[in-house]
Amino acid sequence: KVLMVADGDNVKVGAPYVEGGKVVAEVIKSVGGEKVSITKFRRRKHHQKVTGHRQWYTQVKITGINA
């Protein structure tokens, strides 16, 4: 969804989006973020659970915006 396209003095502003607007991108790589460790602990019960999560992200490069 393209909100605005500018090419020199020619400016198109959408209401709310520019009709026929298209974003062209290429995928660079998929990378993992920092690992987050989650600790669940119950007092006086000898119960402790540790888990981890690592969010994956896709890195993209915008090569063009067309209207």
pLDDT digits (tens, 9 = 90+) for 17-44: 999 889 999 999 999 999 999 999 999 9
Work out the burial of residue 21: count CB atoms within 10 Å of its CB; fewer than 13 is exposed, 13-18 middle, 19 or more buried.
middle
How does residue 7 score in pLDDT terms, banded at 50, 70 and 90? confident
Q: What percent of the chain has pLDDT over 90?
A: 84
The two structure tokens encoding residue 8? 């020199």
Please state the pTM of the whole predicted model.
0.60
